[in-house]
Amino acid sequence: MPLYLQNCLRALLAFFVLIGLSACQNETNLRIGANTWLGYEPLFLARQQQTLPQGVSLHEYPTTAETLRAFRNRNLDVAALTLDEAVPLLLDDNQAAIALILSHSHGADALLGQAEFKQVTDLRGKVVGADSLTLGAYMLGRALELSGMDKKEVEIRSVSLEQQEASFLNREIDGLVTFEPILSRLQRQGAKVLFDSRSLPNEILDVLVVRPQQLNKGQRRQLRELVKVWFEHTETLVTQQETAMQLVMKRQNLYSNELQHALTLLRFYDREENQRLLTGQDSPQLRRTIENIAQTLHRLGLRPATTIPPQQPLFTSIGME
């Protein structure tokens, strides 16, 4: 065979090998999105310490609204969301399901007021900032509702996460719905907690959402590996291992005592709790929580009235298999 034909065949073979490798990599790539909320730090710790499973890419978004948008547009395979954000998704997309319960906020989300305010009702007639597209609207609605107030009694101003600290410190707003680490940083500057997630038991949860039917065999394996890595890194935070704490302090711009306090306001769920909630004896309880949140979203004017079909699967165990 002439030399030029041999070279052409080698080049053609190399081309098809590259195409095959590329297709294989794309097939097994799992894209997960999350924002900078402290409750998602085990994911970012895994990325910093290079322990994410091979082929898993973590995409950081400024807000959960953008994470949610990317998941809806199918730019992500997995999304880290709060439960009140996941519920509308579950209502709109019957292919979506909760694959993991990450954490429970027990004071890490709050309605803050300027130093002179003592209670939620002091905000009557005042300006309150919130990220209106995400958890902020839900938290504010519940805080007002439980304080006997209507949302018409305050002026609600949409304030993005990037603007929250400056808007509050410059007194452009009187109150603010926010979460860790912004919560601790503003408390450092004198902000007062008027209401927090401790008053909303079982409502402010963080979850991983996937579309199980859209995941191929390789992605399912990667999701199982990711769940294992998640539990390993939550343990490093729960036990406050020095290396992990230093990395989180730097990423979240928190002092050591602030981070230690913030972690007391979070509770991470372990594997056994997940198995009970997603597939075991506590599964009906979690389903009722989701149905209650759907009703609350409607009552607060954040969502049209919608019922969840009893046969719709809301949970998947593929990450725990």
Question: Does the pLDDT at position 20 exceed 60?
Answer: no
Our measurement of the distance from residue 38's CA atom to the centroid of its chain's CA atoms, rounded to an integer in Å, reads: 9
Phi-psi region of 253 (alpha: psi -120 to 50; beta: other; left: phi over 0): left
Lowest mean pLDDT segment, chosen from 24-38, 65-79, 129-143, 277-291: 24-38
Tell me what pLDDT residue 1 has. 56
Amino acid at 49: Q
Tell me what pLDDT residue 71 has. 97
Mean pLDDT score, 16-22: 44
CATH number assigned to the domain with residue range 109-199, chosen from the 4 options 3.40.190.10, 3.10.450.50, 3.40.50.1400, 3.40.50.970: 3.40.190.10
User: Using one digit for the tens of pLDDT, what is the confidence trace for 113-155?
Assistant: 999 999 999 999 999 999 865 678 899 999 999 999 998 999 9
**Residue 147, SS3?**
coil
Q: How far apart are CA 191 and CA 283, in angstroms?
A: 38
Tell me what pLDDT residue 211 has. 97
Q: Where are the alpha helices (DSSP H) in 49-172?
A: 64-72, 83-92, 135-146, 161-169
Question: Does the pLDDT at position 249 exceed 60?
Answer: yes
Q: Residue 237: what are its φ and ψ, rounded to 5°?
A: -80, -40
Q: Residue 78: what are its φ and ψ, rounded to 5°?
A: -140, 140
Mean pLDDT score, 171-175: 97
Mean pLDDT score, 51-80: 94
The pLDDT mean for the chain works out to 89
**DSSP codes, 172-193:** S-SEEEEETTHHHHHHHTT-EE
- Give domain limits for the chain: 8-104+203-299, 109-199
Amino acid at 184: S
Tell me what pLDDT residue 79 has. 98
Phi-psi region of 50 (alpha: psi -120 to 50; beta: other; left: phi over 0): left
User: Using one digit for the tens of pLDDT, what is the confidence trace for 251-266?
Assistant: 999 999 999 999 999 9
Mean pLDDT score, 272-286: 91
Strand arrangement of the beta sheet that strand 109-113 belongs to: 155-158, 127-130, 175-179, 109-113, 192-196
Look-up of token digits 């963080």: 206
User: Using one digit for the tens of pLDDT, what is the confidence trace for 282-307?
Assistant: 899 999 999 999 999 899 888 888 88
User: Using one digit for the tens of pLDDT, what is the confidence trace for 100-122?
Assistant: 999 999 999 999 999 999 999 99
Q: How far apart are CA 252 and CA 262, in angstroms?
A: 11
Mean pLDDT score, 223-227: 97
Q: pTM to 2 decimals?
A: 0.84
- How would you class 287 by CB atoms within 10 Å of its CB: exposed for 0-12, middle for 13-18, buried for 19 or more? middle
Superfamily, domain 8-104+203-299: Periplasmic binding protein-like II (3.40.190.10)
Tell me what pLDDT residue 273 has. 94
Check for a shared fold between 8-104+203-299 and 109-199.
yes
Are 37 and 180 in contact by the 8 Å Cβ rule? The answer is yes
Model confidence at 13, pLDDT cuts 50, 70, 90, reads low
